[in-house]
Amino acid sequence: MDAPVTFSTIPTTSGHVFGRATLNAPASLNALSLDMIDLLAAQFDAWADDSQVAGVVLDAAGDRAFCAGGDVVALHRSILEAERGRVPTQAATFFEREYRLDHRIHTYPKPILCWGHGIAMGGGIGLMAGASHRVVTARTKLAMPEITIGLYPDVGSSWFLGRAPGRSGLFLALTGAPLNASDACFAGLADLQLRHEDRAAVLAAIAAARWSGRQADDATRLSHLLEARTDGVERPISPLRDSLDRVDAVIGHDRLDDIAPRLLALANDDHPWLANAAVAFAKGAPTSARLAIEMQRRAKHLSLADVFRLEWQASVGCCMHGDFAEGVRALLVDKDKSPRWQPATLADVDDALLARLLAPRFEGAHPLADLR
């Protein structure tokens, strides 16, 4: 069986190398498993400590997806196998190690070029978001669609979606609306668009360049190298940018009880991107909607490390709440696409339920206490 992540190095003319990590599970759209997380974390740590390594390239095998998200089917199994009322150990471990890896990418001491071609959702965006140089292509499709499976936008989204233009971050969290390459750059989730067929040429240019081993200098050199290949790239129209005034008006500064009717009214809108977003919100888990708003509210004044600690508590809480398992069942296991959310309406999701979802479920120090 092929390794789920492959590793290699790119020799350069300066004598330095770039590490290359390639997600290698194309049959599952490179869905992120715990094995993949552990492999990436160990190799990233080794490269960080190696003075010969000037930077890292993170990409994926196959032509369809960078990473379609975390392996939620495996999480679903662990939830069902857990003793009632007990934290599913495998799920708690998965989220701890995933968030630890995501935080490592955000704070990595060397440039990371993430080649985000194709589908990037959920955990895939978690891998992309913290990279210093995030490339998207004409076939990139990003989304945080967790509301459709009874979860909420995690992997640091509580922090970085809150920094998207206007009120768009909350709109994306509530609807899971897809983003193209132009949307991703506008929302701050990507840095530039290149042609996917130019990836080999970019890798060759990295090999031909002279690197210093100094993070700031090498990051600038990598930026110039990538920007040199942007001429003539055809960029799609950005529905998010075009609709931002309307998105801001719908979300406003109100509570979800006020936002919801305005958002639902978009279901019959002439703009298909807005209409589809409204339909997704209507079908999504009410608890997920309220949790997404609460997470962005709390994250506004937290450090990134504190956000990951809060998200770990929320994600474990979702594993203890039935909607997550039910959402995965309906979408990916039985595939009947008819989840039975409990509670079934926004009005029935009270503050006590949110408090239970966010309650600490660990003994001693927080599992991510060492993140800084």
Task: Give the integer Cα–Cα distance in Å for 192 and 200.
Answer: 17
DSSP string across 21-33: EEE--GGGTT-B-
pLDDT digit string (tens) for the chain, length 372 residues: 689 999 999 999 999 999 999 999 999 999 999 999 999 999 999 999 999 999 999 999 999 999 999 999 999 999 999 888 788 999 999 999 999 999 999 999 999 999 999 999 999 999 999 999 999 999 999 999 999 999 999 999 999 999 999 999 999 999 999 999 999 999 999 999 999 999 999 999 999 999 999 999 999 999 999 999 999 999 999 999 999 999 999 999 889 999 999 999 999 999 999 999 999 999 999 999 999 999 999 999 999 999 999 999 999 999 999 999 999 999 999 999 999 999 999 999 999 999 999 999 999 999 999 999
Residue 270, domain extent:
5-358
From residue 126, alpha-carbon distances to 122, 156, 158, 227, 268 in Å are 6, 7, 11, 24, 32
Looking at residue 86, what is its pLDDT?
A: 86
Quick check: is 366 in a domain? no
Query: How far is it, in rounded angstroms, from Cα 96 to Cα 368?
Result: 7
Q: What is the pLDDT of residue 124?
A: 98
Any idea what the CATH number is for the domain that residue 268 is in? 3.90.226.10
Asked whether the beta carbons of 74 and 303 are under 8 A apart, the reply is no
pLDDT of residue 84: 80
Flag whether 100 is in a domain.
yes
Place of tokens 């589809």: 276
Residue 60: beta bridge partners? 23
**Mind giving me the DSSP string for 85-121?**
TS--HHHHHHHHHHHHHHHHHHT-SS-EEEEE-SEEE
Q: Is residue 281 part of a domain?
A: yes
pLDDT at residue 43 in the model: 98
222 assigned to some structural domain: yes
β 192-193/133-136 pair status: parallel
At 83 the pLDDT is 81
pLDDT at 106: 98
Say if 368 falls within a structural domain. Answer: no
pLDDT of residue 85: 79
Q: Which two tokens stand for residue 343?
A: 């509670």
pTM: 0.97
Task: Give the total number of structural domains in the chain.
Answer: 1
What are residue 22's DSSP bridge partners? 6, 59
Q: Is residue 68 part of a domain?
A: yes
Is residue 335 included in any domain, yes or no?
yes
